[in-house]
Amino acid sequence: MKKSLILFCSFALALMGAGCSDSQTSDKDGAGTNASVKVAKKAAGKELRDIAGTKTLVLGNGAIVTWIQDNVGEKYMPRSLFSDASDSLFNSLNKPEGLPASVGTFLVRVDGANILFDAGFGAFGGKMLSRLMSLGIAPENVQFVYLTHFHMDHIAGLISKDSTGRLAKTFPNAALYASKAEYDAWMNSIPQNEMQKNIMGLYKDSLHLFEFGDELPKGVTTIDAVGHTPGHTAFQISNLLVIGDLMHGYALQKDHPEINSNYDMDKPKAAESRKRILQYARDNKLLMAGMHLPPPGFAE
């Protein structure tokens, strides 16, 4: 455990861009919010003030969704991550610094419950926990955590060091949900899975495994988004579609869903899922929430 933790921390720090300054997000960056979302916000009659690194919107059913930026500073996905894209296509985007992105999680407040979608890096260099608390949500008061998949930047936030220095659950009272396909793959066949096994072991008494199509508590449905990982899952609640890691380079993939990132473990399946789910979101005018969309984490 100790060795893997050290390895993981250096991996996390490299990914998080340690040393960057914290950034205030704004609507003008990347995938902003458009008029229909602002109307929804107004219709709910609530004044929702955004604190740094968060963005809050009201959904069609009155639930409140907040993007919580986990990464520090600005994040760009490099050209080298998109081998599928030709030079001419990539250059046409005019983004020589890379594609704007983020690492984020989403909090949904519905029917008195707090649901967290993924947990980011959390205590391993991420801002998820401090920002969650600045929203007035103590980790003890998160009732549900729904996971899109088991990559480190989505699950490391599930664990923190307790007062004795031992690793413990960050969310001691949360029921944890993941697809059976994702769980089985990481527990049985994917190498370098020590951290995943340790985290799932800590949560074993509160872990629930679902099949695609199952409905989870609070009216959240689960959708097959396989390809990025063997059990990658999208979630829908009201007009919100949580898409996980369906897109790493929004500026490129929103119009070219056939192009994968090199993080996608099964590229043909990832491309199929991306095409199908983007079309579904457009046909049903859903608000997409993506863990690597550019700030503020939403797209329509």
Least distance in Å: CB of 103 to Zn ion?
A: 7
Closest to Zn ion by CB, 70 vs 245, is 245
**Cα four-point dihedral sign 207, 173, 200, 269:** positive
Q: Which run of H or of E encompasses 279?
A: helix 267-283
Distance, in Å, from the CA atom of 52 to the CA atom of 189, rounded to the nearest integer, reads 40
Least distance in Å: CB of 281 to Zn ion?
A: 19
Least distance in Å: CB of 30 to Zn ion?
A: 16
With contacts defined by CB under 5 A, name the span among 8-16, 112-120, 178-186, 243-251 that binds Zn ion.
243-251
Distance, in Å, from the CA atom of 121 to the CA atom of 123, rounded to the nearest integer, reads 6
Instruction: Specify whether the CB–CB gap between 91 and 125 falls below 8 A.
Output: no
Closest to Zn ion by CB, 239 vs 298, is 298
Instruction: Specify whether the CB–CB gap between 90 and 251 falls below 8 A.
Output: no
Closest to Zn ion by CB, 18 vs 39, is 18
> Checking DSSP bridges between strand 175-179 and strand 207-210, what pairing results, if any?
parallel
Closest to Zn ion by CB, 129 vs 293, is 293
Candidate list 245, 249, 264, 297; residue touching Zn ion; CB under 5 A? 245
Least distance in Å: CB of 187 to Zn ion?
A: 19
Least distance in Å: CB of 41 to Zn ion?
A: 28
Q: Rule CB under 5 A: is residue 153 a binding residue for Zn ion?
A: yes
Closest to Zn ion by CB, 41 vs 151, is 151
Q: Which run of H or of E encompasses 128?
A: helix 128-134
With contacts defined by CB under 5 A, name the span among 57-65, 152-160, 170-178, 190-198 that binds Zn ion.
152-160
Each as own residue / partner, the long-range contacts of residues 138-141 (CB below 8 Å, 24 or more positions apart, any chain) are 139/170, 139/171, 139/172, 140/171, 140/172, 140/173, 141/114, 141/173
Among residues 103, 112, 104, 122, the alpha carbon closest in space to that of 142 is found at 112
Pair of tokens at residue 56: 């809050």
Instruction: Specify whether the CB–CB gap between 148 and 225 falls below 8 A.
Output: yes
Closest to Zn ion by CB, 79 vs 151, is 151
With contacts defined by CB under 5 A, name the span among 30-38, 49-57, 77-85, 144-152 that binds Zn ion.
144-152
What is the size of the binding site for Zn ion (CB under 5 A)?
A: 3
Cα 285 off chain centre by: 20
Closest to Zn ion by CB, 70 vs 224, is 70
With contacts defined by CB under 5 A, name the span among 28-36, 79-87, 140-148, 242-250 that binds Zn ion.
242-250
Q: Rule CB under 5 A: is residue 118 a binding residue for Zn ion?
A: no
Among residues 77, 91, 72, 75, the alpha carbon closest in space to that of 29 is found at 75
Least distance in Å: CB of 151 to Zn ion?
A: 5
Q: Rule CB under 5 A: is residue 224 a binding residue for Zn ion?
A: no
Least distance in Å: CB of 165 to Zn ion?
A: 28
Residues that bind Zn ion (CB under 5 A): 151, 153, 245
